[in-house]
Amino acid sequence: MMDSLEYILISDTESIDDDQQQICTTSYDLAANDVKTIIQPQDNETASEKSEKEYTNLEQSPKRTIGRKKSRNPYKCNKCKFSSKVEAKLLKHEINHSKEYLFRCTMCEKRFRIKSYCDRHISSHKGERNHTCPVCKKFFTTKANCQRHMENHKEAAGPGNGYCHSAAHSNLTEEKDGIKIKNEHGAPPKVIKTKKIDRERMIDIAAMEENNKKENTYESRNFNSKRTLDGSEKNNGNKNTEQGADDFGSFFATIDMLSKGPLNLENGIDVPRLDDFEFNLNNEKVITSKSSAFEIVVDKEGKCNKNYQRVSKQNTSGAALDGNHLDKTPGISKYFLGKDKQAEGGKFDANEFSISNDSILTSSVQNSNGSNASEKQKAEQKQKPKLSSISVENFDMKILNDSFLVPSKFDKPERTDTRIVSPTQTEGKDSIFENKFEAKTIKRKTKKEKQQKVGIGKENVSNKNDVRQLSFPGPFPKKMEQPVRTQFWDHNNLIRKILVWNPVWFDEYEKLKTTPPDISKDVNHLLTAYESRKDYFITVLPHLILETWESCIQEWQILKGKRPVTKCVFCNRNDTDISKFSHAYFTVKDHSFKKDDVLILRSSTGDGKYKASLCYIEDITNKLLNIIKSIPTSCHADNQGSSAEKCDTALKLQLKSSHFEMFPSSKKIESTLEFVHSLKDVLSIYDGLATSFETQLIRHVLKPGNIDIFKSISTEHKERDLNVLVNENDFNAIQRTAILNTADMILERNIRNRVCLIRRPFGTGKTDILIGIIKAVFQKEIEMNTLLKKRNELTSQISEERLEKDVLLQGNVICGTFKSFGEQLYLNVLSSVKNNCRKSIFTCMIMDEAQQASELETLLPLQYGPSKLIMAGDPEQLAPTVKSKISRDKSFGQSLFERFCDHFRFQGDKNTVLVLKTQYRSHQEIAKFPSEMFYGRHLDTHRYLI
DNA sequence: CAGCAGGGGGCGC
DNA sequence: CGCCCCCTGCTGG
């Protein structure tokens, strides 16, 4: 159950010094039918000491090719008898001795030492069968398999049957069933796809199938099968569909329906469609017509022959729907298109299988060779009548009923929990961590489920959730899998998603460069407008998680080998609500822990191994320590005598975990904590987001469609304003406009929402303008007799030193960069008003360097509730920092300023964005390049610099 | 008997 | 160095 969460340390000394940490990874040595535990780094056993069974494939090679050659080759492997005449091959060979499985399948948990193994394995998920036996037309996944299969024909037919089986060194053409097949060195004819299939057609199909659903019930389809097959009625439905597939597949072309991912409209993944599909099959041109999704016309001699229409839907490569395949087959698997000429052993009536434009046949194909089935099989099938057949039928129906969601049986498991297959425990007893055992469990459950489905097959498909649970028992108990219904801005949602990460992934990342499973799945492109707060939230949350992951990784790598492992003592736990988190209290002597830290908690499992999971420090309290004597201090710092050392205080940590099993059940269980990353920043952003959702301006942030919020830029100001408030000698025309507009905006007495954008390339007098704005504001206030004397301090000395609490709280305009808003001074001051943001005393916020703040960072100061927002910045300058490339590509780094600028640059005849064009910093020649490069030559240089 | 992974060799970039 | 092809052994249906 908890297999993937295990982080097992193998260590003779039971010490967990960093140096000695050994991460158990799991290799998939299927050849040995065993999941081997790879212990890094030492493995001093010599080959001769190993029993035969312990040899890996590589090491078994003395029997094989390695060593057959006399080692005249200059490059010799020092670990086995391999030698090569080229160094490159030796290097390649040495990978085989590596214990590092760096390549991971993207679709399952398997890992490989060599990329090509991995690629090949991944392609096996797709079930492509591109290799045809020229004799019996069976399709195979690999050429080697095909050739090996052909050996059977050779043995059966004997020599001289016209076909050269030895590597098929013949260019003869063979004629079979009237079809000429060019035999090019045994290479099977390749299936050439000329067009991809797309989604609308599949939707049409769904609609058609939906219409036919009622007729296409279990009985009717079974009846079809009866009439179709020439087997006796007794055998009908008793054969496995998957077995039949192999026979049926004798003249099949396969179309990979997975090429565009699973059928999941919700996620917007393109659904493949059979449309205008053309390929070559054994030198025959095969076309699917547009008018019927499943109609397949084989053009044999330049004519369409409708007798060849037929289609059948099969599961992947005709394989059984057993546990072995469930985890390998995401999404609907395969469509087999075929001719009616069935191979011997099963005859098909083409008419029965032909598909008309308005009906879809989803019948399974059954093997008429049922008489060969053993008595045992028959007995089994009697107990589970028409088991597989029905399963496939239901599978088909399921697609319909779920509106083309991925059939749950082929659903990819939710892999937040299953990325790393745990190191094994010994087989037997409660070996819930043992993969093989687990696989069997899955199979058993699946069979059981099938039986259940047979029972209810007439009525409806079984509950999707049930299927998933049975198919993919995850490491979490049922209650942990169900989403907890909380308000979406509860930051526990974020914490929960982080705490399910497996600590092993941090170590893996360095090699595999992979994010946690599905972490990037929901990362979507940021939009320019959002319909609701929830939309916005759902969009940005995956980015936040991804960024947190990147932060964790970066810190992990920086502190690699340096971070202390602190021993801790389990006190007690409080599992009042384990549907959300499990809470426990630990005592540590290490005072470096802070609230919001994420830690790795490792608890001894008693056999020298440790299980590990992430924990979050929810609270820290000091603890007096006469009882703490027994707590050993950091084993990293000192291994000797520390336990006797006296100390005065300790910390009592309140930890929460998503895996309640991970907390030790007893104080005696040895546990350690290791710092990973502080969630403080991300939680403050998260909470800021939630808080800003309550403010006035947020709706304009989400959907900046209302131009009225922008201060209209008037070009006419009173002569008095121009002279008194803004000295013509100090500012140019645009600057004066900017100052006067923003000052007007600030001084508007209503609480109407206002936004003003100022684009200011470098050197265009940003600071001057901001000061000018403030001066203008005060000047006006003075004129209006609304300014108290004390506020002059704010105007004249807005330096950072003066940003003290009283000053801040007396101002109603706050100005700074988003980074300064995040500084502790601001935070302390602002936190006093934060809880009352709706009645904020800050009416206006002036944000400089607005392009440097990501959208979420912009929202941080907004949580203090200003109704007016002035943003100044230059989108051409430094953009927000985004750690994750995925997020970066999805515009997570776009600033609100830039989004607003793009949206409001030209609204009707109003230019709502103030653009400063004159720079005062650089000589014309220097400014020339950036002007041309970035500012469309609109950046002028002040005449003094020319 | 076929699927699949491990492994070696050839070849082209 | 990566890709492709081929062969081989193990495994489970």
Q: What is the DSSP string of A70-125?
A: -TTSSEE-SSSS-EESSHHHHHHHHHTT-----EE-SSSS-EESSHHHHHHHHHHH
- Residue with CA nearest C8 C1'? A64
Tell me which of A57-61, A119-123, A785-789 is least confident.
Answer: A57-61
- For A319-332, give the DSSP string: --SSHHHHTT--S-
Q: How many CB atoms lie within 10 A of CB A194?
A: 10
Q: Whose C1' is closest to the CA of A116: which nucleotide?
A: C3
d(CA A649, CA A638): 18
Mean pLDDT of A597-608: 82
- Residue with CA nearest C4 C1'? A116
Residue-wise burial string across A686-704, b where 16 or more C-beta atoms lie within 10 A, e elsewhere = bbbbbbbbebbbbbbbbbb
d(CA A94, CA A66): 13
From residue A509, alpha-carbon distances to A17, A422, A502, A601, A742 in Å are 21, 17, 11, 19, 49
Phi-psi region of A233 (alpha: psi -120 to 50; beta: other; left: phi over 0): alpha
d(CA A312, CA A394): 14
- For A693-713, give the DSSP string: TTSSTHHHHH-TT-GGGBPP-
d(CA A280, CA A137): 14
* CB distance A601 to A584 below 8 Å: no
What's the confidence (pLDDT) of residue A177? 30
The whole-number Å distance from A93's CA to B13's C1' is 21
The whole-number Å distance from A627's CA to C5's C1' is 69
Q: Is strand C in 7 Å reach of the CB of A92?
A: yes
Question: Strand A940-941 and strand A918-919: pairing?
Answer: parallel
Q: Whose C1' is closest to the CA of A117: which nucleotide?
A: B5
d(CA A810, CA A791): 7
The whole-number Å distance from A67's CA to B9's C1' is 14
Which distant-in-sequence residues (6+ apart) come within 8 Å of A418 by Cβ? A3, A4, A109, A472, A474, A475, A517
- For A582-649, give the DSSP string: EEEEEEES-TT--TTEEEEEEEE-SSS-EEEEEEEEEEEEEEE-GGGGGS---TTT--SSGGG---SE
- Residue with CA nearest C3 C1'? A116
Cα of first residue to Cα of last residue in chain A, in angstroms, is 74
Q: Is strand C in 7 Å reach of the CB of A324?
A: yes
- Beta pairing partners, A584: A573, A655
Average pLDDT value for chain A: 55
The tokens of A611 are what? 């299980």
The whole-number Å distance from A319's CA to C13's C1' is 10
d(CA A25, CA A28): 10
The whole-number Å distance from A89's CA to C3's C1' is 14
d(CA A845, CA A856): 16
* CB distance A631 to A587 below 8 Å: yes
What's the confidence (pLDDT) of residue A711? 53
Q: Taking each helix axis as running N to C, give the angle between helix A387-401 and helix A199-212, from 0 to 180 degrees, rounded to the nearest 10.
A: 110
Residue A769: name the closest of A687, A868, A872 by CA. A872
Q: What strands lie across the sheet with A334-338, from one edge to the other? A: A252-256, A334-338, A311-314
Tell me chain A's radius of gyration from C-alpha atoms: 35
Q: List all nucleotides in chain C with at least one atom under 7 A from a protein Cβ.
A: 1-13
Alpha-carbon A807 to chain mean position: 47
Alpha-carbon A826 to chain mean position: 36
The whole-number Å distance from A163's CA to B11's C1' is 29
What is the tens place of the pLDDT at every residue in A642-697?
A: 443 444 567 888 888 877 677 777 777 778 888 888 898 888 888 878 877 777 77
What SS3 class is residue A182? Answer: strand
Q: Is strand C in 7 Å reach of the CB of A377?
A: no
Residue A372: name the closest of A249, A246, A251 by CA. A246
d(CA A299, CA A289): 12
What's the confidence (pLDDT) of residue A595? 86
Q: Is strand C in 7 Å reach of the CB of A380?
A: no
Task: Pick the more confident residue, A498 or A318.
Answer: A498
What's the confidence (pLDDT) of residue A546? 87
The whole-number Å distance from A119's CA to B3's C1' is 15
Residue with tokens 């045992």: A376
Tell me which of A97-111, A283-297, A838-852 is least confident.
Answer: A283-297
Greatest extent of chain A over all pairs of C-alpha atoms, in Å: 113
Pick from A434-438, A733-737, A886-890 the range whose average pLDDT is largest.
A886-890
What SS3 class is residue A900? Answer: helix
Q: Whose C1' is closest to the CA of A64: which nucleotide?
A: C8
- Give me the helices (H) in A311-427, please: 323-326, 350-353, 375-383, 387-401
For A43, phi and psi rounded to 5 degrees? -150, 90
Hits for CB < 7 Å against strand C across A residues 129-158: 142-144, 147-148
pLDDT surpasses 70 at A498: yes
Q: Is strand C in 7 Å reach of the CB of A124?
A: no
pLDDT surpasses 70 at A754: yes
DSSP state of A23: B
d(CA A420, CA A517): 10
The whole-number Å distance from A789's CA to B11's C1' is 86
Sign of the CA dihedral A677, A680, A685, A687?
positive
Q: Whose C1' is closest to the CA of A151: which nucleotide?
A: B1
Residue with tokens 């608890």: A603
Pick from A103-107, A458-462, A463-467, A614-618 the range whose average pLDDT is largest.
A614-618
**Strand B contacting residues by CB (7 Å):** A 27-31, 56-59, 61, 65-66, 69, 80, 82, 84, 88-89, 92-93, 96, 110, 112-114, 116-117, 120-121, 124, 129, 138, 140-142, 144-145, 148-149, 152, 246, 317, 328
The whole-number Å distance from A27's CA to B4's C1' is 15
Q: Is strand C in 7 Å reach of the CB of A123?
A: no
Task: Pick the more confident residue, A161 or A826.
Answer: A826
The tokens of A162 are what? 């016209």
Q: Is strand C in 7 Å reach of the CB of A291?
A: no
The whole-number Å distance from A705's CA to B10's C1' is 63
d(CA A926, CA A665): 69
Q: Whose C1' is closest to the CA of A65: which nucleotide?
A: B8
The whole-number Å distance from A320's CA to C13's C1' is 9
d(CA A305, CA A418): 49
DSSP state of A854: B
Q: Which helix (H) or strand (E) holds A459?
A: none
What's the confidence (pLDDT) of residue A727? 67
* CB distance A682 to A544 below 8 Å: yes
The tokens of A492 are what? 């526990």
What's the confidence (pLDDT) of residue A487? 66
What's the confidence (pLDDT) of residue A492? 83
* CB distance A572 to A585 below 8 Å: yes
pLDDT surpasses 60 at A410: no
Q: Which helix (H) or strand (E) holds A788?
A: none
* Side-chain half-sphere CA neighbours of A299 within 13 A: 11
Q: Whose C1' is closest to the CA of A57: which nucleotide?
A: B6
The whole-number Å distance from A116's CA to B4's C1' is 13
Q: Whose C1' is closest to the CA of A168: which nucleotide?
A: C6
Q: List all nucleotides in chain B with at least one atom under 7 A from a protein Cβ.
A: 1-11
Q: Residue A726: pLDDT band by 50, 70, 90 thresholds? A: low
d(CA A893, CA A888): 6
Q: Is strand C in 7 Å reach of the CB of A945?
A: no
Q: Is strand C in 7 Å reach of the CB of A65?
A: yes
Mean pLDDT of A409-432: 27
What SS3 class is residue A815? Answer: strand
d(CA A110, CA A636): 34
What is the tens place of the pLDDT at every residue in A896-936?
A: 888 888 777 666 555 567 788 888 888 888 888 888 888 87
The whole-number Å distance from A106's CA to B9's C1' is 28
Q: Whose C1' is closest to the CA of A115: which nucleotide?
A: C2
Q: Residue A151: pLDDT band by 50, 70, 90 thresholds? A: confident
d(CA A379, CA A373): 10
Identity of residue A923:
H
From residue A358, alpha-carbon distances to A136, A204, A208, A294, A903 in Å are 33, 10, 7, 10, 48
What's the confidence (pLDDT) of residue A142? 75
* CB distance A267 to A390 below 8 Å: no
The tokens of A502 are what? 């497996």
Mean pLDDT of A378-391: 30
Residue with tokens 């230019």: A911
DSSP state of A313: E
pLDDT surpasses 50 at A326: no
* CB distance A379 to A334 below 8 Å: no
d(CA A359, CA A728): 80
Tell me which of A366-380, A433-447, A518-532 is least confident.
Answer: A433-447
Task: Pick the more confident residue, A892 or A192.
Answer: A892
Q: Is strand C in 7 Å reach of the CB of A32?
A: yes
DSSP state of A250: G
For A143, phi and psi rounded to 5 degrees? -65, -35
Q: Whose C1' is closest to the CA of A32: which nucleotide?
A: C10
d(CA A143, CA A147): 6
Question: Strand A83-84 and strand A913-915: pairing?
Answer: unpaired
Identity of residue A810:
Q
What SS3 class is residue A299? Answer: strand
The whole-number Å distance from A11's CA to B13's C1' is 46
Sign of the CA dihedral A232, A233, A238, A242?
positive
What's the confidence (pLDDT) of residue A107? 66
Residue A38: name the closest of A96, A88, A101 by CA. A101
Phi-psi region of A658 (alpha: psi -120 to 50; beta: other; left: phi over 0): alpha
Q: Is strand C in 7 Å reach of the CB of A167?
A: yes
